[in-house]
Amino acid sequence: MARTQTRQDEQQKVERRVPDDELKRALYLLKLCRYFDERMETLYRQGKLPGAIYSGRGQEGTHIGVVLPLGPDDSLFPTHRDLSAQMAKGLDLKRIMAQFWGRIDGYTRGRDGNSHIGDWYGNKTWTVMSHLPIAYPVAVGAAWAYQRRGEPHVAMAICGDGATSNGRWHESLNWSAIYRLPVVWVVNNNLYAYSTPNELEFPVPTIAERAAAYGMPGVRVDGPTSWPSRRQRARRSIERPAASATTRNRSGKAATTSRVARPIDPVEPRTLIDFMANW
Ligand SMILES: Cc1ncc(C[n+]2csc(CCOP(=O)(O)OP(=O)(O)O)c2C)c(N)n1
Ligand SMILES: [Mg+2]
């Protein structure tokens, strides 16, 4: 009880520091992203939407919290469940819909469906690629380019907990730490990679502590933490160019293909956010 009260007090303090217009924008995005996700799943189940969809339901707070502090020239490297992060970065709803139906006015000009969406030349979001976490090394490249050109931009990459067991994840963190690159690493830990639980993915209690291996501080935000806290941590990481990882329980299914490998948790999602700062 006392802990809950302390958490609420802390959240209220953080919320008071967020300007009103940004709070309104965040609320708008939270509702929009949730509604959009639900609507697409309904259309899919009605057989009106081709392909497969990956729901990010329950992860919107993290996405919006970490993306809102980014500027227009900062880049985002998302993975399969991060459409709401891309929406927060500025993607146009009509073009997203066109993408879902593989139309020419979609972001990939009809070359793919919703899973592989991105708007590099507009809102600086890298097109989602299937091989996890393939966006991580590319984010390193972008951040390295910013550093070499003396540009003040930041790259932010997002992946799930399962992707952190892949070698690319470790190489990316290592490289970014050695060269002190301006990257924010975000890991959405929804506790499972398909059916594989966290304890079969990594031998440490939290992803955040893996940051120590790369000489970065790691921070975890756990529980029903409000999005302003996530925003504040992201902002801090961006101001001191950083690497971060976030985690939360997804409330939807693994994928709307036939393969759903774990029971669905009906409760509201739990949020864990781990941030690892390069300096
Ligand atoms: C290198 C690689 N291996 C396997 C897959 C197949 N795959 C797609 S999503 C997924 C689960 C990933 O789990 P996680 O990173 O925790 O993301 P979540 O779906 O839980 O958000 C897997 C194994 C892939 N896309 N890339
Ligand atoms: Mg996962």
CATH number, domain containing residue 66: 3.40.50.970
User: Ligand 1 atom 11: the closest Cα is on which residue?
Assistant: 193
Reported as type and span, the H/E element at residue 271 is strand 271-276
Is the per-residue pLDDT at 80 higher than 70? yes
Separation of alpha carbons 119 and 92, rounded Å: 10
In a domain? residue 262: no
Predicted model pTM: 0.84
Separation of alpha carbons 259 and 247, rounded Å: 23
In a domain? residue 194: yes
Closest ligand to the CA of 56 = 1
Q: What percent of the chain has pLDDT over 70?
A: 73
CA of 77 to the centre of ligand 2 (A): 17
| Structural domain boundaries, residue 158 | 2-256+267-276
In a domain? residue 140: yes
In a domain? residue 122: yes
Ligand 1 pocket check: which of 63, 83, 132 to mutate, most ligand atoms within 8 Å of Cβ? 132
Q: What is the mean pLDDT of the chain?
A: 80
In a domain? residue 261: no
In a domain? residue 48: yes
Is the per-residue pLDDT at 34 higher than 70? yes
Predicted confidence at residue 112, as pLDDT, reads: 86
Predicted confidence at residue 220, as pLDDT, reads: 76
The total number of structural domains in the chain stands at 1
Is the per-residue pLDDT at 103 higher than 70? yes
Burial 81-93 (b: 16+ CB within 10 A, else e): bbbbbbbbbebee
In a domain? residue 115: yes
Q: Is the CB of 132 under 6 A from ligand 1?
A: yes
Predicted confidence at residue 189, as pLDDT, reads: 84
Average pLDDT, stretch 31-58? Answer: 90
pLDDT digits (tens, 9 = 90+) for 179-237: 888 888 888 888 889 889 989 999 998 888 888 888 877 777 665 555 666 666 667 66
Average pLDDT, stretch 41-53? Answer: 90
Q: Please indicate whether residue 227 or residue 18 has the higher confidence score (pLDDT).
A: 18
CA of 113 to the centre of ligand 1 (A): 18
In a domain? residue 80: yes
